[in-house]
Amino acid sequence: MYFIFQLEFNSSKTYISDLIHAYSKDVGIELDVFQDSKMITISAKQDDEKLELFLNGLEEILPASLYLGKSKHFFRDEKLFLPTLNEAKLPTNIAPCPTCQKEMFDVSSRRYYYPFTSCNHCGSQHSFLTKYPYTRANSSMKFLVPCKECVDEAKSNSLRLDYPLISCIECGVAIRMLDKETEHLALNKGDFRKLFKVSAYAIAAGKTVLMKTAHGYRKFFNPNKDLDTVKQMAFSSSSSSDGLSKNPYTFSEASKENVELSTLLMASATGFNRHLMLVEQEFNALLSIERPLLRVATKSDEMKNLYGSSALVKYPDDGMTMLLAREVISAGLEYIAYIECDAREEADFLVDFDLPITWQKDTKLFVNQDDKIFISGERIVFPTVVKNVKGMVALAHDLLAVDVEGETIIDSMEKFTGIKGNWVNILDNEGFETGHANEKLIPQFKASMTSVLAEYGKVGEKAIGVHFDGNLNFLYYNGKEIINAVPPIPFESDNLWEKISTLRDGSDRLVGNYKKAYPEIWERLDNLEGDMDIFEVTAITLGLANESFEGISAEALSFLGKGGLQIDTRVKDNRFDNYAFLTSIMSYQLGDVENSYMCYSIYESFGDYIGEIVPQLIEKVNTRTIVLTGETFANQSLYGRIQRTLGQYNPLMSKKFPIGKESAVHGALYL
């Protein structure tokens, strides 16, 4: 008789199944671990005397994960044989697992307060990788020689068996803390603990600490200490393409708006329910080993005063922030805040280390009941192995899909050397040419839609697509080619008032009234520069601090009522009219409609419009397959409206890749 234990695991990532298999060796139990794209299955003999010990221990060593779902067990007479994933060894970029965390906080451990503690199944391994294949020689850890204890451990510890990045305080990465006058180097357990303690108490006292983490430089501060101190902080308003700050604020120019644009780092899980309005799924996602970014509604007056109606929230996601958070709690704080920046950012203290690393863009997650959708970003999602039957090389948003030793891996361009392929598909706005004879340029909407079709095994089948990412496109896939069936009317933000005033009779009076009521906004809109999308212009119109889709979504979260206003979409030949949309918003604004109500209504109106056009397209073609792509769908009111208007068709959205631009590199493989 065999005992079968199954865990839902909706991913091709293998760090959980690998951890289970490694732990079974620790216990000394013989079992099989199978994994497909939806399930991890464990099979063991029912009469094995170590089975109970294994199951009890598994509960302690198994981390919470975004991908884990329900579990079940049953018995069968015959041995189970299932196909399993044969994925290449890829570096993880997740938080430390429970076993590694235990070592970090055990004073008797060689890794007490060592922030680079990790094993084969966890940690920020990807940050140290320089190129594939994944070995120590191809990582920045090659500069460090493991001590005898680590060498022996790599032969005996099942969790770190042949682990490429094995290290400890004795042989690993040294960190240092600097202020304007002194430098303190951490070389032993006491030094490491003291460094994080001093950093935490400095933040609690109102100082700023610039810290190099596995995910890049972050500037930490206490947003509650003193608003005058906060106003003196030098934040970077944006980043240039080379990763260095540009247009930095001077001390006198920074304001509370910068606090609202920072990320809230919750040091204590007990503070979540006090300060934030979380559903269970959001709470579980934040504490998962993947540690995504989530935008959630604020709850306490304290938090509303700092961030308004919602905040971008993170739980400590690597060894550096995890150890800092532990000492922040000791300093009496439940949370601090940070901004992502570069090494030149001004701060009172710098915590740094000399080992070179590369970091990925953090991944934002959208949660709606049991649906968890990646919005944008690289970490967690990439690197990953995908199918590639054509020998295709794909490039999009600095991500590359390329064959490495027989497996197609998607990762950042800099991780690959000696790239070869029969065909090359490149995103059309990438600005990169390979000179390959079979090079083809691919638009974003085609690559995004094809990515979802490939994920669900529907390449070659007819489908309707809606791509909503700044612009709204209605697509038709005939099984061979994706056609932009209802393209948006091009939106040009320059000469905006001229276009609005000639839209219809009476529009010129609206422009005049708006200029009198909102002269500062009118002037700002009259002098727009660059290629701005409708959401940026809408956010400026509403006077939001965060002038983007993100800002509108955040404001919509604060509306607690039901039912929105009808924002004018004024369709021309079934095409959305951006100028009529803006005119409608300005009219409501003159009628003193609150911003939160307006933002909520915007997404409801888009949902109604999409729910009206898609069935018309379905009537014209023989398909009920609908694909939704684009970051804009990551909004509670729009998502809910789509479920009501199109739910009967069960529209498809990516579960494995971001619904935003990063999915293009996957979709380009199939075009």
pLDDT category of residue 256 using cuts at 50, 70 and 90: low
Mean pLDDT to the nearest integer, 638-662: 94
pLDDT category of residue 561 using cuts at 50, 70 and 90: confident
Q: How open is the CA angle 271-367-551, to the nearest 5 degrees?
A: 80
0.85 surpassed by pTM: yes
> Residue 574 has what pLDDT?
66
Element (H, E) at 8: strand 2-9
Element (H, E) at 368: strand 364-368
Q: Does residue 228 have a pLDDT over 60?
A: no
**Position with higher pLDDT, 566 vs 179:** 179
What's the pLDDT tens digit per position in 341-358? Answer: 999 999 999 999 999 999
> Residue 581 has what pLDDT?
87
Mean pLDDT to the nearest integer, 29-40: 92
Q: Does residue 107 have a pLDDT over 90?
A: yes
> Residue 87 has what pLDDT?
63
pLDDT category of residue 35 using cuts at 50, 70 and 90: very high
Element (H, E) at 31: strand 31-35
Strand pairing partners for 76? 2
> Residue 570 has what pLDDT?
61
Q: Does residue 67 have a pLDDT over 90?
A: yes
What is the CATH architecture assignment of 459-651?
A: 2-Layer Sandwich (3.30)
The Cα 46–Cα 49 span in angstroms is: 8
Which token pair is 595?
Answer: 């911003």
What's the pLDDT tens digit per position in 627-643? Answer: 999 999 998 889 989 99
> Residue 569 has what pLDDT?
65
Q: Does residue 560 have a pLDDT over 60?
A: yes
Q: Does residue 463 have a pLDDT over 70?
A: yes
CATH 3.30.70.100 domain position(s) in the chain = 2-76
Q: Does residue 465 have a pLDDT over 80?
A: yes
What's the pLDDT tens digit per position in 81-93? Answer: 887 766 678 999 9
Q: Does residue 242 have a pLDDT over 50?
A: no
The Cα 553–Cα 230 span in angstroms is: 25
The Cα 376–Cα 225 span in angstroms is: 32
- Percent of the chain with pLDDT strictly greater than 90: 68
**DSSP code at position 380:** T
What is the CATH architecture assignment of 2-76?
A: 2-Layer Sandwich (3.30)
CATH 3.30.420.40 domain position(s) in the chain = 459-651
> Residue 573 has what pLDDT?
66
The Cα 28–Cα 57 span in angstroms is: 12
> Residue 388 has what pLDDT?
81
Q: Does residue 620 have a pLDDT over 70?
A: yes
Mean pLDDT to the nearest integer, 6-15: 93
Strand pairing partners for 8? 39
On whether the CB atoms of residues 363 and 376 are closer than 8 A, the answer is yes
> Residue 390 has what pLDDT?
77
Mean of the per-residue pLDDT values for the chain? 89
pLDDT category of residue 16 using cuts at 50, 70 and 90: very high
pLDDT category of residue 238 using cuts at 50, 70 and 90: very low
pLDDT category of residue 231 using cuts at 50, 70 and 90: very low
On whether the CB atoms of residues 650 and 451 are closer than 8 A, the answer is no
What fold is seen in the domain 175-353? DHBP synthase (3.90.870)
CATH 3.90.870 domain position(s) in the chain = 175-353
What's the pLDDT tens digit per position in 169-218? Answer: 999 999 999 987 889 999 999 999 999 999 999 999 999 999 999 999 99
Question: Which three-class secondary structure string do you get for 481-542?
Answer: CEEEEECCCCCCCCCHHHHHHCCCCCHHHHHHHHHHHCHHHHHHHHCCCCCCCHHHHHHHHC
- Percent of the chain with pLDDT strictly greater than 70: 94
What's the pLDDT tens digit per position in 274-331? Answer: 999 999 999 999 999 999 999 999 999 999 999 988 899 999 999 999 999 999 999 9
Secondary structure E strands in 175-320: 175-178, 183-186, 209-213, 216-221, 236-239, 245-248, 263-266, 276-277, 293-298, 310-314
What's the pLDDT tens digit per position in 110-160? Answer: 999 999 999 999 999 999 999 999 999 999 999 999 999 999 999 999 999
Which region among 227-236, 247-256, 639-648, 654-663 has the lowest average model confidence (pLDDT)? 247-256
Mean pLDDT to the nearest integer, 427-436: 80
